């Protein structure tokens, strides 16, 4: 009798949970459409002749005669290839430097013992709130006097500084969650602090690296205003700058513009697809250890 | 714990305050010449412009590229012109940053009016009289009047004189699709009421009578400027506070904008200039009120044969107004030279490549803008619209600037623009004009 | 152990690079900017000290700032609430499924890594009255003609105008993946032992979510929410690329704080005034962060 009730209950709840699971998948799939359709539309439109887009913007492309022209124009005249490379260099170098410098600072705040660590953390936090428009001109005049404008280094330095607060903030949290016992064991083995950081701290905070690294990379990849003011040379412009310039004052050829958008977006999607799984690995690794 | 955090926050704030005391505005004080890099004996001069010389389909921009290329060819090994280009919207941002950093480009393009003021009054732009008077350069220009926008009095830091060389003139005209007019039986209007009449006929035939952009404010304000002028508003009187923005002439212009707005395309309020003009080029609308740079775009962008369908007429008079109906809005792209340029002679040479016969012939024949020099160009090669614009321009009794570039400063111009966008959206003119009235009260009439 | 971790040289070695870089590139310019905010400073001219006049003008006379305060506060509240809600829901849903979890997560996070300039242009066309969703509505027969439909990015009626709401949703679309990731990172850090123990005690999954997951990810809620709040107060890119220029220019109804700052500083070259706006923005960010941390921490203390 007792057992019977239990069985029917679990069966019921199994059925229920299956329905719930289906509902969840329907919701998730619908959201996938919301995310993918606009991008598909742009890719589709970039393949059409301009006139076709104007007359029926949502129809599937049927005339591919302009496809090559659109992309070649965007690639060569818009200099988007070069710009993608520049953006990649700037974002990657910034990412590496800010992760190293930032996690060192975070480590010293979270694990080294000194009076003013909280105060220094707050000091760094102010950086997150500074609107970059506000420091644009002061910084530009300063960098110009150091001859750092119009070079990628001149972008990497401020980008690194802007990435530091968020890196330090999140990494501090990750270092704090590492149990002190781990460090104590290493110290007893005669480990110096820099070694402690490299051998114990860094591996334990892998998940943190993934999250902060991605965030700072994305921010710098998309940054427009600084890049626009700091770089004059067409060969050193980053992707967002070249893109806004390409769509320029008198452009009425929309499909060429869409080709530009597609060119700007596709490499990121590819790189993302490659790295996305590693991020996932990082997350699971963090879960196992945490 | 929480208190500690708050305390530390406050402490940091105090810290930064106290550091402030020892801080002077040294940031922008850095002075320095322009970038006179000397790589391999070739001196570099910089030229800054608001469109991408490589990618633009605008024929005037392509003409600029030719001038730069010719200069680089002729001075190979001696000078090289490096082009700094931005898109139009960010142009002054970038230029201001360069000026603030002491990197003013040797030569830069600029619109006469408040924008040019920003560079002439503090002495960023150089006085050009000596160069213009040498070798009879100035005599090659059509008249002294073309320099009006670049001429300053004693208010300039370096004294009265000419600070900018015009490259071309664009006159704001009414472009119309002759086929649609013929089909609707509409006549070319001479007066405002005739314009309404023509619009009505076009609309009855199922055409969109006027395409205009209120998303890009200066487009609508160009029409507003014409209406104000045709109603007899005098900007000098306004500046001297002999009249104000609540003047019946301005209110009337506002009411006329509202009256005309029923003939605009339904999306006027959100369309930007590109989209609005494209509607005319694509044959979706009958009338486009635009600067004559549109000719360069029509010939650079439009389908074969479209240019032959386009007619041009002067902005109509307002019935019953005593104002001169032959005044034309004109605008010239001008070049200024940095007063801190290390290669002034080379910079002047570069400017000369923009106003020599080759460049000016191109301006007229290909770009469709009115040349500024006495160059002879082949009228049969030039776009047909140019001759219509020239007719309008020759009949003009006087020219005046775009309103948003003729008011007290850039911000006043932008305020004027936005007031008329509000009026267009249906706000009562007297109510909608309050911001510009207040702006003048607190910033201009003091 | 303790001695080693207290050694001054180690602390300096680890902290110095970040501290010097951060101070030189961000703090020094912001202090300069603070000084400029007390000046009448136009580009090309010398700054002239005028005390608090810029601040007084900002709060009493400037109509654009009023619009900007309203819109920016709306943005902030909207993004804090919706990002928390949808970020959590997505994180909860995704941790509860096994098949395709990575796929869904990658898709939702995707817009975060794409250029806002490119996405802004894309959405601009999707909401453009001639080519975008209005055209779909037209072909479905919902409206008579595409260009007579709703002007998504230009309708200025109402207290919070439609374009601001539209852009709020686009921003949610673009950035909710970020919140989701942060929450998922935190949730996946929770030991599965706790859930197993709870399940044995007869705790349902929904109950487990509210009783175990939520309290344990509270620190991350504070982090994510602060990031959202600051991000939305400084919000600029999408407004800049999607809204017609007339509506974010002088007297425009779609101003946010960053666009006024941009206009005043870079377009009208009133740099001193722009710095004053920047300082106010900074103070607002400080206050909001403080409030969020206080609020969330207080709850978790209970």
- For B147, residues 6+ apart whose C-beta sits below 8 A from its C-beta are B141, B162, B164, B165, B166
C-alpha–C-alpha distance, residues A277 and B7, integer Å = 43
Kindly state whether C111 is in contact with chain A, defined as any CB-CB distance less than 8 angstroms: yes
Kindly state whether A151 is in contact with chain C, defined as any CB-CB distance less than 8 angstroms: no
* pLDDT at A286 > cutoff 70: no
User: What is the predicted pLDDT for the residue at A278?
Assistant: 66
Q: Among the residues of B363-409, which ranges form H helices?
A: 384-395
Tokens of C12: 């300096």
Tokens of A32: 């996938």
Q: Tokens 């996932």 belong to which residue?
A: A280
Kindly state whether A55 is in contact with chain B, defined as any CB-CB distance less than 8 angstroms: no
Question: Is B329 in contact with B111 (CB distance < 8 Å)?
Answer: no
In this prediction, residue B228 has a pLDDT band, given cuts at 50, 70 and 90, of very high
DSSP structure string for C177-233: HHHHHHHHHHHHTS-HHHHHHHHHTT--HHHHIIIIIHHHHHHHHHHHHHHHHHHHH
Rounded percentage of chain A residues whose pLDDT exceeds 70: 89
Contact assignment for B414 to C251 by CB distance below 8 Å: yes
Could you tell me if B179 and B307 lie in one domain? yes
Kindly state whether A116 is in contact with chain C, defined as any CB-CB distance less than 8 angstroms: no
Long-range contacts of range C84-87, CB-CB < 8 Å, 24 or more positions apart?
Answer: C84/C179, C84/C221, C84/C224, C84/C225, C84/C228, C86/C172, C86/C176, C86/C179, C86/C180, C87/C176, C87/C178, C87/C179, C87/C180, C87/C182, C87/C183, C87/C224
Kindly state whether B391 is in contact with chain A, defined as any CB-CB distance less than 8 angstroms: no
For B376-392, letters b (16+ CB in 10 Å) and e give: ebeeeebbbbbebbbeb
- Where is pLDDT greater, at C149 or A107? A107
- For B184, residues 6+ apart whose C-beta sits below 8 A from its C-beta are B198, B201, B202, B204, B205, B207, B286
Of the residues C8, C12, C16, C18, the best mutation for testing chain A's interface (the one with the most A CB atoms within 10 Å of its CB) is: C18
User: What is the predicted pLDDT for the residue at C220?
Assistant: 79
In a domain, C198, yes or no: yes
Of the residues C6, C9, C20, C26, the best mutation for testing chain A's interface (the one with the most A CB atoms within 10 Å of its CB) is: C26
Please identify among residues 263-282 of chain A the ones whose CB lies closer than 8 Å to any CB of chain C. Answer: 264-265, 268-269, 272-273, 276-277, 280
pLDDT tens string A51-103: 888 888 888 888 888 888 888 888 887 788 888 899 989 999 999 999 999 99
Neighbours of chain B (3+ CB pairs under 8 A): A, C
* pLDDT at A8 > cutoff 70: no
* pLDDT at A249 > cutoff 50: no
Q: What average pLDDT does this structure show over B130-140? A: 92
pLDDT tens string C19-60: 999 999 999 998 988 999 999 988 767 889 999 999 999 999
Kindly state whether B214 is in contact with chain C, defined as any CB-CB distance less than 8 angstroms: yes
Tokens of A197: 């950081």
Distance from CA of B230 to the nearest CA of C (A): 24
The structural domain count of chain C equals 1
**B278 contacts in chain C (CB < 8 Å):** none
* pLDDT at B30 > cutoff 90: no
DSSP structure string for A17-29: HHHHHHHHHHHHH
In a domain, B395, yes or no: no
CA distances from A207 to A194, A202, B34, C255 (A): 20, 10, 48, 38
Contact assignment for A129 to C289 by CB distance below 8 Å: yes
Distance from CA of A75 to the nearest CA of B (A): 11
Closest CA to B387 of B375, B370, B401: B370
Contact assignment for B216 to C29 by CB distance below 8 Å: no
pLDDT tens string C107-116: 998 888 888 8
- Residue C13, Cβ neighbours under 10 Å: how many? 16
pLDDT tens string B147-166: 988 889 888 888 899 999 99
Contact assignment for A240 to C117 by CB distance below 8 Å: yes
Beta bridge partners of B334: B110, B166
For residue B211, the enclosing domain spans 171-329+401-443
**A247 contacts in chain C (CB < 8 Å):** 121
Q: What average pLDDT does this structure show over A13-38? A: 89
* pLDDT at A285 > cutoff 70: no
Tokens of C168: 């709020």
Could you tell me if B325 and B420 lie in one domain? yes
Kindly state whether A136 is in contact with chain B, defined as any CB-CB distance less than 8 angstroms: yes
**Window from A173-187, B190-204, C69-83, C223-237 with minimum mean pLDDT:** A173-187
Q: What average pLDDT does this structure show over C88-112? A: 87
Could you tell me if B290 and B429 lie in one domain? yes
Could you tell me if B322 and B178 lie in one domain? yes
C-alpha–C-alpha distance, residues B63 and B435, integer Å = 40
Q: What are phi and psi of A238, to 5 degrees?
A: -90, 170
Q: What average pLDDT does this structure show over B34-40? A: 43
User: What is the predicted pLDDT for the residue at A247?
Assistant: 62
Phi/psi zone of residue B403: left (φ > 0), alpha (ψ -120 to 50 degrees), beta?
alpha
C-alpha–C-alpha distance, residues A267 and A68, integer Å = 18
**Would you give the distance in Å from CA B58 to the centre of its chain?**
15
All structural domains of chain A with their residue ranges: 2-68, 77-246
Tokens of A109: 């705040």
pTM here is: 0.84
Closest CA to C154 of C128, C131, C173: C128
Distance from CA of A28 to the nearest CA of C (A): 7
- Where is pLDDT greater, at B137 or C241? B137
User: What is the predicted pLDDT for the residue at A281?
Assistant: 56
Contact assignment for B87 to A149 by CB distance below 8 Å: no
Please identify among residues 26-45 of chain A the ones whose CB lies closer than 8 Å to any CB of chain C. Answer: 27-28, 31-32, 34-36, 38-39, 41-42
Contact assignment for A105 to C17 by CB distance below 8 Å: yes
C-alpha–C-alpha distance, residues A8 and A24, integer Å = 24
**What is the number of CB-based contacts under 8 A between chain A and chain C?**
256
Average pLDDT of chain B, as a whole number: 85
CATH for B213: 3.40.190.10
- For C16, residues 6+ apart whose C-beta sits below 8 A from its C-beta are none
Rounded percentage of chain C residues whose pLDDT exceeds 90: 31
Neighbours of chain A (3+ CB pairs under 8 A): B, C
User: What is the predicted pLDDT for the residue at B18?
Assistant: 34
**A135 contacts in chain C (CB < 8 Å):** 26, 29-30, 33
CATH for C237: 1.10.3720.10
Distance from CA of A190 to the nearest CA of B (A): 34
User: What is the predicted pLDDT for the residue at B109?
Assistant: 96
In a domain, B317, yes or no: yes
- Where is pLDDT greater, at A130 or C300? A130
Q: Tokens 């005028």 belong to which residue?
A: C50
In a domain, B160, yes or no: yes
User: What is the predicted pLDDT for the residue at C196?
Assistant: 83
* pLDDT at A3 > cutoff 70: no
Q: Which helix (H) or strand (E) holds B113?
A: none
Strands B79-85 and B161-162, sheet pairing: unpaired
Nearest CA in chain B to C40: B25
Distance from CA of C266 to the nearest CA of B (A): 5
Question: Is C129 in contact with B276 (CB distance < 8 Å)?
Answer: no
pLDDT tens string A111-141: 888 888 889 998 998 888 887 877 887 888 7
Contact assignment for C35 to B23 by CB distance below 8 Å: yes
Q: What is the ipTM of this complex?
A: 0.84
Query: Residue A58: which of C1, C136, C181 has the nearest Cβ?
Result: C136
In this prediction, residue C301 has a pLDDT band, given cuts at 50, 70 and 90, of very low
* pLDDT at B7 > cutoff 50: no
The structural domain count of chain B equals 2
For residue C216, the enclosing domain spans 66-301
CATH of domain A77-246: 1.10.3720.10
User: What is the predicted pLDDT for the residue at B14?
Assistant: 37
User: What is the predicted pLDDT for the residue at B407?
Assistant: 87
Closest CA to C82 of C152, C213, C179: C179
C-alpha–C-alpha distance, residues B349 and C76, integer Å = 54
Q: What average pLDDT does this structure show over C284-291? A: 89
* pLDDT at A6 > cutoff 60: no
Contact assignment for C130 to B275 by CB distance below 8 Å: yes
In this prediction, residue B40 has a pLDDT band, given cuts at 50, 70 and 90, of low
Highest mean pLDDT: which of B2-11, B244-253, C227-236?
B244-253
User: What is the predicted pLDDT for the residue at B224?
Assistant: 94
Query: Residue B267: which of C43, C151, C271 has the nearest Cβ?
Result: C151
Could you tell me if B315 and B372 lie in one domain? no
Query: Residue B23: which of C32, C130, C246 has the nearest Cβ?
Result: C32
In a domain, B319, yes or no: yes
Question: Is B78 in contact with B71 (CB distance < 8 Å)?
Answer: no
pLDDT tens string B320-376: 888 899 999 988 899 999 999 999 999 999 999 999 999 999 998 888 888 999 988
User: What is the predicted pLDDT for the residue at A189?
Assistant: 79
Q: Which helix (H) or strand (E) holds A50?
A: helix A50-55
In a domain, B162, yes or no: yes
DSSP state of C190: S
pLDDT tens string C146-183: 777 888 888 888 888 999 999 999 999 999 988 888 88
**C60 contacts in chain B (CB < 8 Å):** none
Query: Residue C234: which of A108, A131, A160 has the nearest Cβ?
Result: A131
Contact assignment for C250 to B414 by CB distance below 8 Å: yes
User: What is the predicted pLDDT for the residue at A282?
Assistant: 53
Question: Is B161 in contact with B125 (CB distance < 8 Å)?
Answer: no
Please identify among residues 234-293 of chain B the ones whose CB lies closer than 8 Å to any CB of chain C. Answer: 265-267, 269-272, 275
3-class secondary-structure state, position B35: coil
Nearest CA in chain A to B89: A249
Question: Is B46 in contact with B82 (CB distance < 8 Å)?
Answer: yes
C-alpha–C-alpha distance, residues B408 and C163, integer Å = 31
pLDDT tens string B161-172: 999 999 999 899
């Amino acid at each position: 009798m007792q057992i019977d009730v239990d069985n029917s209950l679990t069966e019921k709840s199994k059925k229920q949970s299956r329905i719930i699971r289906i509902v969840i998948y329907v919701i998730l799939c619908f959201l996938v459409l919301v995310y993918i359709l606009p991008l598909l539309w742009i890719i589709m439109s970039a393949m059409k002749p301009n006139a076709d887009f104007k007359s029926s913007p949502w129809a599937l492309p049927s005339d591919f005669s302009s496809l090559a022209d659109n992309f070649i124009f965007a690639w060569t005249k818009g200099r988007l290839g070069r710009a993608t490379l520049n953006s990649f260099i700037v974002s990657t170098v910034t990412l590496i430097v800010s992760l190293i410098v930032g996690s060192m600072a975070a480590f010293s705040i979270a694990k080294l013992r000194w009076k003013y660590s909280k105060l220094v953390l707050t000091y760094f936090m102010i950086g997150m709130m500074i609107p970059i428009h506000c420091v644009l001109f002061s910084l530009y005049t300063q960098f110009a006097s150091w001859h750092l404008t119009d070079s990628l280094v001149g972008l990497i330095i401020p980008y690194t500084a802007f990435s530091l607060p968020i890196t330090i903030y999140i990494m501090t949290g990750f270092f704090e969650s590492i149990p002190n016992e781990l460090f104590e064991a290493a110290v007893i083995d005669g480990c110096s602090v820099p070694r402690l950081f490299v051998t114990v701290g860094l591996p334990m905070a892998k998940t943190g690296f993934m999250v902060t690294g991605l965030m700072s990379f994305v921010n710098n990849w998309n940054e427009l205003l600084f890049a626009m003011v700091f770089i004059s040379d067409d060969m050193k412009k980053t992707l967002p700058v070249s893109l806004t310039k390409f769509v320029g004052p008198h452009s009425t050829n929309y499909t060429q513009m869409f080709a530009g958008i597609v060119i700007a977006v596709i490499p990121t999607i590819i790189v993302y697809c490659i790295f996305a799984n590693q991020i996932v690995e990082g997350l699971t690794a963090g879960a196992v250890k945490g | 714990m929480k208190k500690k955090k708050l305390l530390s926050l406050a402490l940091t704030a105090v810290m930064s305050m106290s550091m402030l005391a020892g801080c002077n505005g040294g940031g922008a004080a850095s002075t320095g010449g322009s970038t006179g890099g000397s790589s391999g004996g070739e001196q570099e001069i910089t030229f800054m412009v608001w469109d991408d010389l490589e990618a633009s389909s605008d024929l005037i921009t392509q003409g600029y590229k030719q001038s730069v290329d010719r200069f680089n060819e002729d001075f190979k090994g001696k000078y090289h012109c490096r082009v700094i280009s931005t898109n139009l919207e960010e142009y002054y941002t970038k230029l201001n940053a360069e000026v603030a950093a002491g990197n003013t480009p040797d030569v830069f393009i600029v619109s006469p009016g408040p924008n040019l003021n920003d560079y002439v009054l503090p002495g960023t732009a150089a006085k050009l009289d000596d160069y213009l008077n040498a070798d009879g350069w100035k005599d090659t220009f059509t008249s002294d009047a073309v320099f009006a926008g670049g001429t300053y009095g004693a208010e300039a830091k370096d004294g009265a004189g000419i600070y900018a060389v015009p490259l071309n003139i664009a006159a704001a005209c009414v472009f119309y699709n002759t086929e649609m007019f013929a089909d609707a039986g509409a006549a070319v209007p001479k007066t405002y009421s005739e314009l309404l009449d023509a619009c009505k006929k076009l609309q009855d035939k199922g055409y969109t009578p006027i395409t205009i952009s209120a998303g890009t404010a200066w487009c609508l304000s160009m029409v507003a400027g014409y209406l104000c002028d045709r109603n007899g508003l005098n900007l000098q009187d306004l500046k001297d506070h002999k009249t104000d923005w609540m003047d019946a002439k301005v209110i009337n212009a506002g009411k006329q904008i509202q009256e005309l707005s029923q003939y605009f395309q339904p999306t006027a309020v959100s369309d930007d200039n590109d989209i609005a003009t494209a509607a005319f080029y694509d044959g979706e609308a009958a009338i486009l009120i635009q600067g004559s740079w549109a000719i360069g775009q029509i010939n650079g962008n439009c389908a074969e044969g479209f240019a032959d369908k386009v007619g041009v007429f002067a902005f109509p008079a307002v019935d019953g107004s005593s104002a001169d109906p032959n005044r034309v809005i004109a605008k010239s792209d001008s070049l200024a030279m940095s007063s801190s340029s290390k290669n002034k002679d080379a910079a002047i040479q570069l400017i000369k490549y923009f106003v020599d016969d080759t460049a000016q012939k191109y301006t007229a024949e290909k770009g469709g803008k009115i040349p500024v020099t006495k160059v002879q160009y082949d009228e049969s090669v030039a776009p047909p619209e140019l001759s219509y614009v020239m007719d309008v321009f020759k009949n003009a009794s006087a020219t005046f600037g775009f309103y948003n570039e003729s008011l007290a400063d850039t911000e006043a111009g932008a305020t004027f623009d936005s007031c008329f966008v509000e009026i267009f959206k249906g706000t009562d003119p007297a109510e909608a004009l309050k911001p510009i009235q207040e702006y003048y009260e607190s910033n201009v009439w003091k | 152990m303790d001695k080693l971790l207290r050694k001054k040289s180690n602390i300096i070695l680890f902290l110095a690079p970040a501290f010097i870089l951060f101070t030189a590139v961000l703090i020094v310019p912001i202090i300069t900017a603070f000084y400029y905010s007390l000046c009448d400073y136009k580009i090309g001219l010398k700054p002239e000290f005028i005390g608090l006049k810029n601040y007084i003008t900002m709060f009493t006379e400037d109509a654009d700032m009023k619009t900007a305060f309203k819109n920016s506060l709306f943005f902030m509240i909207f993004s804090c609430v919706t990002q928390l809600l949808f970020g959590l829901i997505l994180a909860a849903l995704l941790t509860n499924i096994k098949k395709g979890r990575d796929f869904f997560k990658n898709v939702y996070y995707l817009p975060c890594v794409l250029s806002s300039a490119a996405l802004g242009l894309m959405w601009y066309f999707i909401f453009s009255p001639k080519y975008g969703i209005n055209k779909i509505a037209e072909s479905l027969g919902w409206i008579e003609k595409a260009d007579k439909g709703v002007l998504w990015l230009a309708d200025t009626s109402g207290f919070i105008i439609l374009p601001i709401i539209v852009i709020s949703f686009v921003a949610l679309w673009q950035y909710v993946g970020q919140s989701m990731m942060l929450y998922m990172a935190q949730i996946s850090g929770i030991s599965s032992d706790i859930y197993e123990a709870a399940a044995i005690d007869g705790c349902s999954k929904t109950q487990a979510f509210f009783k175990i997951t939520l309290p344990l990810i509270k620190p991350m809620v504070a982090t994510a929410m602060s990031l959202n709040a600051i991000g939305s107060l400084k919000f600029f890119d999408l407004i800049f690329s999607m809204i017609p220029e007339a509506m974010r220019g002088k007297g425009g109804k779609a101003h946010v704080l960053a666009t006024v700052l941009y206009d005043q500083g870079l377009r009208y070259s009133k740099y001193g005034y722009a710095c004053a706006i920047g300082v106010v923005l900074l103070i607002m960010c400080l206050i909001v962060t403080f409030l969020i941390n206080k609020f969330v921490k207080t709850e978790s203390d209970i």
